[in-house]
Structure 1
Amino acid sequence: MTDSPDDASVSPRTRREAARRDRTVAPGAATGRAAGRDPLEHAREHLELARGHARDHLGHAREQFEATNERIKQRTGRDLLLAILTGLLLGALVLASLLFVKWTFVILAVAAAGLATFELVRALQTGGRRIDVVPQLVAVPLILLPAFASAHWLHWTALFGAVFLIVVWRLLVQMAARDGRTYGDVFADVLASGLVPVYVSLLASLALALLRQPEGEWWVLAFLITAIAADTGAYAAGLAFGRHAMAPRISPKKTWEGFAGAALAALAAGALLAEFLLGLPWWSGLVFGAVILATATVGDLGESMLKRDLGIKDMSSWLPGHGGVLDRLDSILLSAAAAYALHGVLAPLGGL
């Protein structure tokens, strides 16, 4: 057994060499110790380390997304994530109904028109108008179903019958109330009551009348895609480049830059859909896209003006990230009428 030399008797050079030997031996010793460990435990440690890094990256990405989403929400008033998820779900339902069973699209259309009618009636009631919910909801299937299942004359007869029912109901209820309401207010109530089914149910029924045509499901799908493309293009371009307000007194967040994005998206969608979906010349798709762009924009601005007059932001909160059902149908309803008219004009070009 050899005694260790006293530190004072060891030269500095000897101490440096000993330290160098320790640094050289240590990694090998550590490797030996690591090699002697359980491989499963070693793999578990690496897995936990990888999980920690993944959690850190996901947490950072989530924080960045939430911050971006919050900025978008403050600027546009919409929750981007909820809007995307809701839009994808609704789009999948509509697409499946059009491609597989037409009657399921009819059911969806009647349900959507019924909810939109209920929203509009409630909004007008908060604005001081007296409108009766029951006849308005009865009128929805009364107008929509004949548009798909019957001849044109029955469709229009059902429309006039529904409006007559709504107007007479309102007058009888007003007569029974005896509340001293002025003639001007009564006339405004009757006029608003009669316009509700024309705005919602009649325009929605034209989409079903289009669906009833030969290969009508493709035309319905085409105008829906074009209207959605215009709305998406307006949203993206307005968010990225929006500087100049389009109609500040009606809708302050709509910009000319957004309208330009909507125009590009609608024209591109129209040309592609005409060529590959409808079997029409590509230039007819430009006409289709331009008309749908115009009606979608007018419909959107029209509903915005109505909400501004009523002092509300959304018709309801039934669709997360979108507001109400009518808030999603505002650009589609008027576009349905335009698409129905365009079918009569452009469909004969399919053989060219």
Structure 2
Amino acid sequence: MKRRYWLIAFLILQLANTEVAGQLLPNIEIINALKESDRHIANGKSHLALVQLHQVLQTKEAVTDQSILSHLYNNLAIVLARYNNFTAAMACFYKAGSVESKYNATKRGKRYISFFSTNSNYENKIKENIVNDEILELMVQDQINQKELERTEEFESELIQTASIVEAFLDQKEATHYALALLIKQPIPGQKNTNTGLGEVGHSFISLIKYNKDQSAVCKTFGFYPEEGQLIPVNPLMPKANSVIKNDAYHTWDQLLGKFVSKEQFEKVLEYIDHNIDNEYHLSDYNCSDFALTIAQLSSIQIENTVGNWPLGKGDNPGYIGQSILAGKYTNLDSKTKEGLFTCSNNLFTKTKK
């Protein structure tokens, strides 16, 4: 009789082990694929990373560990941001739940040649109610079909009607989430410089996103510029000009800092844009960085040490803002911590072959 019980117990144990092994095997393959995507992200090989992540996304139903899913969505957020697909990137950041960021850099002299974020301590907070995975898969496949992560310097930001930004969000659709991304193009990536010495000062700009209940989304990416065509361009001696707004959807960037915001915060941002978007441009007092930082502040994002000096002037500037983001000198004022903020760097400025 005892032998019979032992035999039954042994068979039950074998079945349990077989089931566990069946669950672990796909997870191990997925973990290895995610590690491979980590390496591609670190080296700026966004296309290869996206191919790996797309494969994991297609097999995610086999995943039993929520931290693996969090890792997947966080990596997707980084790569999709590098494709300037901020709608998908912020949605993936939301799906990833809470993660703890760590930063790694490789320096060559004073210059960061590779700067990226990795993550640890994934929490089991997978959130699905923003963009469903069927739509996300289509977005990812569309990016893969481009084959290469194209540099966007060749795309000139075009003038847009200032009223069109606010009007785009008045789509009469019920919203589920709102997000914002602050994007920084430094004069010299990875360096705390206000300019290159050859007139290039960088750029700060904003991406606003509204996610709707019907799974549609509205995204506007734009920046504040001095009007061109003047006899003498804006300079420290003549710092004023009329302002214009340009579509920066294809503008390159080095650092990104994003956050989901409340409806009230989003409406405050739209109100500010509506009333201040035609303000006069001033190189020291109200430039592209002042405009972008004010919108970030209305969204409860605080960034330290954003003011730098240049000949005959000083003020907020992309070089200093970018370095503060790299150094983690920012706070989510809603939580009084860094929690709830998405940050990543765009390795387009590295010398690594894509």
TM-score by length of 1: 0.24
More strand by share: 2
Name the larger-Rg structure: 1
- Which structure shows the bigger proportion of residues in helix conformation? 1
TM-score normalised per structure 2: 0.24
